[in-house]
Chain A
Amino acid sequence: MAVFRWGHSWGHSIGDLEREVDRLLRGVTASFQGLRFGRQYPAINLYELDDEYLLTAELPGMSPEDLEVKIAGGVLTVSGSRQDDDHGSEHNFRRQERAHGSWQRSLSLPDRVRDDNLSAELTDGILRIRLPKAVEEKPRQIPVTSG
């Protein structure tokens, strides 16, 4: 519908330029993007520190009550659900890009992690799980298995 496109006076040329700038600035969407590509959710990063490993994940909208972190048999399982059900009918949406629902992810921990002393913390939608290294050996790398 380009009837009024030519010669209109609403200053859209400025808007077009700004849109272009926005496009240039656009990056990768975070969050549930992995779901669309069949990847595991949530995406995790793993860091090594002197005496522990640090596992981080982006979990916006999750509160500690929505989240479960378990460890059994050397397997760390993180699960939770995000429910956004206060928007009324689906017809009310003008735009819907954020996903919601239940998810679960399991990771095998190597023997070199002391699994009796993990701690997890959720701040501003970022989950941090600390995995202390076993005292006797200082491993260089944890193999991460997606299961």
Chain B
Amino acid sequence: MTNELTRPQSDQPPDQSEHTSIYATPSGPSPVERHVFTPPIDIFETPTGLVLRADLPGVSLDTLELQVQNNRLTLFGRVAPAAPDGSRLLHQEYHEGDYLRSFILSDNVDHESITAKLTNGVLEVFLPHAPEAEARRIQVSGS
């Protein structure tokens, strides 16, 4: 396979272990500890491009950042606490945290035409094929 696909930054499946990563927000005097999760994704192909879906429960339009820089698509979603201040946690089966994941885009993605929507905590990004994505013949010259 030589055609480059949109692939996640890491080729490994998302971490299935229970350990949790912490990062410190770079701005602000005292670092705030938060969980950062790698959201599960699907990527599938359609005749006109690739569709990427990511589960981002708790992320709203206001708290989602999606950007393409160079060849990298990065999604970052912040999650506000589900319970109001002053509530007491009695039983916990999952941790709240933010979502971060980035992907290398292949050259045959039309970067200018990427669209995205967020519905019920699921982000869907459409990565259309670039028009010139056809195979190109490369001239090979002898020395």
Chain B min CB distance to A18 (Å): 7
Interface bin, chain A: 35 or more
Known: A61-B120, A93-B43. A29 touches B21 (CB 8 A): no
Task: Quote the shortest CB–CB distance from B7 to chain A (angstroms).
Answer: 7
Give B52's nearest chain A residue, CB to CB.
A95
When C-beta atoms are compared, the residue in chain A nearest to B71 turns out to be: A15
CB under 8 Å from chain B, chain A span 32-55: 32-34, 36, 39-40, 43-50, 53-54
Query: Within the complex, what minimum Cβ distance (angstroms) separates B100 from chain A?
Result: 6
Cβ of B40 and Cβ of A25 under 8 Å apart? no
B17: Cβ under 8 A from any A Cβ: yes
B6 contacts which of A19, A94, A122 (Cβ < 8 Å)? A94
> A30-B37, A58-B58, A141-B90 are known contacts. Are A126 and B42 too (CB-CB below 8 A)?
no
A19 to B35, alpha carbons, bound, how many Å?
A: 19
Q: Verify B44–A88 contact, CB threshold 8 A.
A: yes
Q: What's the nearest-Cβ distance from chain B to residue A94, in Å?
A: 4
Interface of B is mostly: loop
CB neighbours of B45 from chain A (8 A): 92-94
Look across to chain A and name the residue whose beta carbon is closest to the beta carbon of B40: A97
Among A32, A94, A95, chain B packs the most CB atoms within 10 A around the CB of A95
Determine whether A8 belongs to the interface, using a CB cutoff of 8 Å to chain B: no
Do residues A29 and B44 form an inter-chain contact, with CB atoms below 8 A? Answer: no
Q: Are B93 and A45 in contact (CB under 8 A)?
A: yes
Contact mask for chain A residues 90-103; partner B; CB cutoff 8 A; 1 contact, 0 none: 00111111110000
Knowing A27-B97, A45-B93, A125-B121 touch, does A97 contact B21 (C-beta < 8 A)? no
Of the listed stretches B8-16, B25-33, B108-116, B130-138, chain A binds B8-16
Contact between B20 and A27, CB atoms less than 8 A apart = yes
B interface residue numbers (CB < 8 A to A): 5-10, 12-21, 23, 35-46, 50-51, 53-60, 82-84, 86-95, 97, 100-102, 104, 119-122
Q: List 19 A-B contacts (CB under 8 A).
A: A18-B102, A26-B10, A26-B21, A27-B36, A27-B97, A28-B17, A45-B91, A47-B90, A56-B82, A58-B57, A58-B121, A60-B57, A60-B120, A84-B53, A92-B44, A93-B44, A97-B41, A98-B40, A122-B120
